[in-house]
Structure 1
Amino acid sequence: MDERLLRSEVPKETSNLPKRIWVESRKIWKVAFPSMISRVTQFGVFVVTQAFIGHFGEVDLAAYALVQIIAVRFVNGILLGMSSATETLCGQAFGAGQYHMLGIYLQRSWIINIATATILAPVFIFSTPIFKLLGEEEDVAEVAGYISLWFIPVLYYFPFTFSTQKYLQAQLKNSVVGFLSTGAFVLHILLSWLFVIKLDFGIPGAMASMAIAFWSVVIGMFVYVFGGWCPNTWRGFTVAAFHDLLPIVKLSISSGVMLCLNIVAWEFMIFFGFLSASSVRVSNELGRGDAEAAKFSIKVITSTSICLGVLAWILCSVFERKLAYLFTSDEEVAESVLDLSALLGISVFLNSIQPVLSGVAVGSGRQGLVAYINIGSYFLIGVPVGVLLAFVADLEIKGLWIGMIIGIVVQCLVLGYITFRTDWNEQVKKASERLNRWFLNSPEESNANSA
């Protein structure tokens, strides 16, 4: 069913444009909707934990927010970005019909990402001295250091969940991730209520509930993959996963730099679904050798995402006051959040554009180029402007946020220009060369050749 949907197409010469848009939209939403659900609910686990901890006290709320914003987003961005190399390779291999290579790419990604997570573990182990070095208040830094240790199980959850999701979505099987993530979200709410409210376990109860919920998703995906539901793409563990690791590492590092600067809000998790959809559709069509279908998909998904971005902007504006009180009972803290509502609305809209353009780049394997664009947009433009506005113009956090918005605007403009100017026939050739360079015979072909 999945392969037939992927390969079904309306002839390009047809004058029935609405039918072409409908067919392409089905393909996009088959990837985007489960991805949205999984990302919103997985990020929702963090939000629910923050809501429970936020009612313990201001120091606990500040400490949790500090760990999540600085440490978790940093490693999340790196590992999610590195996993997008799997997204490119699996998507193009599936489009080219090299199904057995998906399992090999998945195992390579696990090896690389687990090693990366281990390298990043000191960020959580030594977070108290790190936060103190950054000038954080001592009491907040101490609590943050305690909370960060509870995030270590989550750190090792990232390598498995991100890579496996990319592997499944490339073959249009990521609906199972949506179901698992939704179940984990419900489980987390129930366990948080039990551990924190009924049993009064405090911070350990909230954090333990989060770890259990996250790892339930990983276990569920393992059961699905290893249990025979991916017979064409999972052929078991193989030493072939250790071949050609260095090129994958290079592509993964570029991907990590590309994405680690872009994780900004729960709303962004929704539009990350379109990042996944644009990546899968572009990579599938490039792997299949159809440049025109790739271009048409980009037009449809960009239009769809922008329309939803406008809707999200309106909803944030309407419900901004109620949202603030979900995370704190302190009226002063809530009012300070409301003071930033206009900037939130702008960020929401921009977040409907940037992920799609990034997903197009991921699908064509141009993570390195986008990494340079991100560095230039944020560190050469966004951060300097933000610092000037915050400390010279005395706008404080507003200034920093405005600087980041300017960085996103520059990023969108540059990515949009590159996408518009891309020769997609040339990208088809590059995708074919990449797949041929890293292709390994399936076990059946190897046995036939040896015979």
Structure 2
Amino acid sequence: MEDGKQPLISSAKEDGQEQEHQLQSLPVARHTSSAATFVPDASDISPITGPVDFYRAFLTESKKLWYLAGPAIFTSICQYSLGAITQVFAGHVGSLDLAAVSIENSVIAGFSFGVMLGMGSALETLCGQAVGAGQIDMLGIYMQRSWVILVTTALLLSLLYIFAAPLLKLIGQTEEISEAAGVFAIYMIPQLFAYAMNFPIAKFLQSQSKIMVMALIAAVVLVLHTLFSWLFMLKLGWGLVGAAIVLDTSWWLIVIAQLLYIFSGTCGRAWSGFSLKAFQNLWGFVKLSLASAVMLCMNILGWTIMVALGMNAAISVRVSNELGASHPRTAKFSLVVAVVTSFLIGLVLSAILIATRNEYPSLFSSDTSVETLVEELTPILALCIVINNIQPVLSGVAIGAGWQAVVAYVNIACYYLFGIPLGLILGYKLDWGVRGIWYGMMTGTIVQTCVLFFIVYRTNWNKEASIAEDRIKKWGGANESDVDKTSDN
């Protein structure tokens, strides 16, 4: 394809053959490792010279973002709902069952979910940039490396499940609930290994923009999960055992369905079978995965908004694809579109919240004192929604560019070393109560967002595109030099 005839921004289609052709046609980076000598690919977005150019480019990029973000949001909601539906049915079984499922989901499985999701996000950087550079052959190798690391991590985390009961007692939970949650946690160990398989698969498919199939699988499994939860937990009276069986099975159905889709040949060159190359460069891969895990686990509040989570995945794919394809200006503009879009969504949600501040608290509590406190805190909650709609976008940019380690340090410093201690001082030392704790945490998040903005603002995007090519070569290993030659041809 000639540069002059190439579209400004490459767009992936869901159709297998058309997308495969498109991915193979992506330009290979043509530059050296020096940012000073970097020359963007000719198909990079043209400089924007006026409002009309900005409007057209904004609409084009918005379509690309929502093509990824929409199904990603839907998939996230469906997968999140699996545990939530189990909790709903557990509540109809008994209060002890509800407590056991809720604690296991939020404490044990919640922590493991965050670790696995974070470590799996290292794949977003590598796969996304490999797709952008046209080195599709490496995607399957990257996914297999991530499987090795995450399954090993799952073996270590399984100790948390095995010793869940004494750990819950240690942090102050009652003996009855701790024992019930401990038994349920042991039953849920298969779900842990499903996490280890699922998250690399998800990043592998997202990097190729194969989002719709993930959404379809998640929707079908959610329907089946609801049906069988009712059957096993209520109709057959299996209680916690039934809950565990259905929840484990649902997560493994997602994994198996996605694997069948990949193995069927729909991913073309991206999956060429299992390879011993998956065991090369594992330590470097581990370091990137650990940095990713720390980064995401430090941002629990930001991930509570499903729209922001979907935009996080979308901007990560867009930035990594465009940097890998030597399109630094396109990557930068994609960031602008994502931030503006998320900010506007946050404003709309906040406005709705403030407009209904006198009505919505009664949906959650009949206690007038609680309702009054919620009404008073609504403006702060509204501000939190706006901030937490922006922060995940910046984190997604970090994943796409491969800045996980730097952002992990920023998150730890701003949130855990500044925000939480400030909240404790305001809440307990100054007797501000819940308001003080919330003010402190929100302040930490605001500082965190400002620091990320500063990092992004100072970024040399030409240099990042150059680093992306170097990263692709590094993670490809010495034996993958033939891939570069093939792509050049």
TM-score normalized by structure 1? 0.90
Aligned residue for 1:124?
A: 161
Aligned residue for 2:374?
A: 339
1:19 aligns with 2:59: no
Aligned residue for 2:73?
A: 36
1:324 aligns with 2:364: yes
SS across alignment from 2:270: coil
Q: Gaps (5+ residues) in structure 1?
A: 326-330
Matches within 5 A, 1:412-423: 412-423=449-460
1:46 aligns with 2:83: yes
Q: Would you say the 8 A contact 1:39–1:270 is kept in 2?
A: no
SS across alignment from 1:30: helix
Aligned residue for 2:319?
A: 282
1:438 aligns with 2:478: no
Distance change in 2, residues 1:395/1:322 (3 Å):
same
- CA deviation map 1:355-379 (0-9, x unaligned): 1000001111000001101111222
Deviation at 1:199, TM superposition (A): 2.0
Aligned residue for 2:286?
A: 249
1:63 aligns with 2:103: no
SS across alignment from 2:269: coil
Which amino acid is 2:80 matched to?
F
Deviation at 1:71, TM superposition (A): 2.0
Deviation at 1:154, TM superposition (A): 1.6
1:80 aligns with 2:80: no
Matches within 5 A, 1:44-443: 44-264=81-301, 267-315=304-352, 318=356, 320-321=360-361, 324=364, 339=374, 342=378, 344-394=381-431, 399-440=436-477
TM-score normalized by structure 2? 0.83
Q: Would you say the 8 A contact 1:80–1:256 is kept in 2?
A: yes
SS across alignment from 1:75: helix
Which amino acid is 1:118 matched to?
L
Distance change in 2, residues 1:44/1:398 (3 Å):
farther
Aligned residue for 1:328?
A: none
Distance change in 2, residues 1:444/1:290 (3 Å):
closer
Q: Gaps (5+ residues) in structure 2?
A: 1-11, 14-18, 27-42
SS across alignment from 2:216: helix
SS across alignment from 1:351: helix
Deviation at 1:266, TM superposition (A): 7.5
Distance 1:264 1:237 in 2: 37
Q: Would you say the 8 A contact 1:75–1:260 is kept in 2?
A: no
Distance 2:233 2:450 in 1: 46
Distance 1:398 1:142 in 2: 34
Distance 1:394 1:141 in 2: 32
Q: Would you say the 8 A contact 2:302–2:391 is kept in 1?
A: no
Distance 2:326 2:248 in 1: 42
- CA deviation map 1:296-344 (0-9, x unaligned): 100001111112222333455648447638xxxxx56995898386254
Distance 1:129 1:272 in 2: 33
SS across alignment from 1:16: helix
- CA deviation map 1:47-78 (0-9, x unaligned): 11222223444444343333223222221111
SS across alignment from 2:117: helix
Distance 1:161 1:337 in 2: 43
94-103 vs 300-309, which moves further: 300-309
Q: Would you say the 8 A contact 2:128–2:208 is kept in 1?
A: yes
SS across alignment from 2:237: coil
Distance 1:127 1:56 in 2: 22
Q: Would you say the 8 A contact 2:116–2:196 is kept in 1?
A: yes
SS across alignment from 1:360: helix
SS across alignment from 1:339: helix
Instruction: Note the aligned Cα RMSD (angstroms).
Output: 2.9
Aligned residue for 2:9?
A: none
Which amino acid is 2:63 matched to?
R
136-145 vs 13-22, which moves further: 13-22
Q: Would you say the 8 A contact 2:361–2:371 is kept in 1?
A: no
Which amino acid is 2:136 matched to?
Y
Distance 2:77 2:302 in 1: 10
